[in-house]
Structure 1
């Protein structure tokens, strides 16, 4: 229990709620694609018919273990908190949420709103020493090695995955998702670095 700092944990849980709400009510309901490990899992599902639940788990576990070794036990614990709370919130919203936000005819608006909310949720989680999965840890590690900001690393990683997704998605869907990812990267950096003290990683 000494590795759990409850103020950090509560902010990570709140960030996960914002993240889940944005993904479900903006991205999913308006057919915007996904980057990161979720996007890779969708590609694997498309061509090999393997469940994204299995793929994301196989991708996450090694990187959580790497994060434990290189970035510290606190990050690993906080990642478990972030990933678990995100999954719970998303499952509850998917099943019980009465809200439907149809912006399919206004994908520019959807991509901007989605990017702002996802970036805010992700920034809160990272700022308080957490992550939502292995791709977050990978971005943190690349940021430390390359000195690129976390948001820029996210943008490059997600853009590569989304370009690969053109094998089964339309240019229109991918273009608006890349716009959302760019907004998300900017907001993530704004939230993560908008204080004098460095973000907590270990």
Structure 2
């Protein structure tokens, strides 16, 4: 019977490449929608979006910078191969999220429809990234590291971070936008919870 590590290694370099390009493109497309609609999301991407709103800075550069401190935790918890794949995924999303606004914009989107579609896009993108042994770094890596070091469940760490993030967002953004953002985050988590199988693929 194959282990999870062995299953992840069954992908060829080409398969990993197309999986990462597809996954990061879907997530970056969702980021364009998020920014155009003034929404946020959870985890490190949400933090980067919030910082980009406050500083009026490009999301791609902020997202790339915010993830830098977490690679050490990824190396300690998952190994160099995982860190390299994560670095590639973060770099691709950073690049795509700067490129895509020149190719598409969203001037009129129903907020509920937009939030649902953002959740679907992010979920599809993350599923592809997870299934090829990568991640988008950030809080997920730190949460797993703390779980190993302190026995504090990773899910609680991530939930606590998101609770703080959305609380801060509620002070800076209109409450309606925060509410729609929460809807998108719920859809995203449902997609991952229903479709992802930890006994088949490695994921953060």
The TM tier, using the shorter chain, reads 0.7 to 0.9
Cα distance in 1 for partners of 2:28, 2:61 equals 19
Cα shift readout 1:18-44 (whole Å, capped 9, x = no counterpart)? 1111221x3222222233234334555
Structure 1 gap segments, 5+ residues each: none
CA contact (8 A) 1:19 1:121 kept: yes
Cα distance in 1 for partners of 2:87, 2:51 equals 24
1:10-159, aligned counterparts within 5 Å? 10-24=18-32, 26-41=33-48, 43-44=50-51, 49=55, 51=57, 56-97=63-104, 100=106, 102-103=108-109, 106-141=110-145, 157-159=161-163
Q: 1:142 to 1:200 in 2, by over 3 A?
A: same
Cα distance in 2 for partners of 1:96, 1:54 equals 19
Q: Of residues 183, 189, 204 in structure 2, which corresponds to 1:185?
A: 189
- RMSD over equivalenced CA pairs, Å: 3.2
How many residues are matched? 191
Cα distance in 1 for partners of 2:91, 2:61 equals 15
Q: 1:139 to 1:19 in 2, by over 3 A?
A: farther
Cα shift readout 1:116-137 (whole Å, capped 9, x = no counterpart)? 1111111221222111232342
Cα distance in 2 for partners of 1:30, 1:129 equals 31
Cα distance in 1 for partners of 2:82, 2:170 equals 34
TM-score (norm 2): 0.76
TM-score (norm 1): 0.76
Cα distance in 2 for partners of 1:90, 1:117 equals 14
